[in-house]
């Protein structure tokens, strides 16, 4: 489920455009903090190596790689992946 990074409200819009705002708090939705590829531990804080550097992670941007967090992999898929990973290293 897609949720706003700032207030946690569910985002019902199928595709998020650069100008979309959260209905709850009015913050921009097409931002790094809402993206699947956002990762604080990576260079440029982005898992996508070809993405251009974005300074303000909480402001709307033009990144072509933007994928709303929660849209890419369902929770059940994640749970299944974790189970397979643990099974792989069982002795």
Taking alpha carbons only, the member of 73, 74, 42 closest to residue 57 is 42
Number of domains in the chain: 1
Q: How confident is the model at residue 25 (pLDDT cuts 50, 70, 90)?
A: very high
- What is the sign of the dihedral through the CA atoms of 35, 36, 37 and 39? positive
Cβ contacts of residue 32 below 8 Å, gap of 6+? 38, 45, 46, 54, 57, 58, 61, 63
Domain of 25, in residue numbers: 1-91
pTM exceeds 0.85, yes or no: no
**For the segment 37-81, what is each residue's pLDDT rounded down to a tens digit?**
999 998 899 999 999 999 999 999 999 999 999 765 555 566 777
Q: Are 16 and 31 in contact (CB under 8 A)?
A: no
């Amino acid at each position: 489920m897609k949720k706003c990074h700032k207030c946690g409200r569910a985002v019902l819009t199928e595709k998020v455009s650069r100008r979309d705002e959260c209905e709850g708090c009015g913050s921009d939705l097409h931002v790094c903090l809402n993206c699947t590829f956002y990762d604080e531990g990576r260079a440029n804080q982005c898992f996508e190596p070809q993405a251009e550097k974005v300074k303000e992670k909480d402001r709307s941007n033009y990144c072509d790689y933007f994928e709303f967090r929660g849209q890419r992999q369902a929770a059940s898929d994640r749970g299944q992946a974790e189970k397979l990973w643990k099974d792989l290293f069982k002795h």
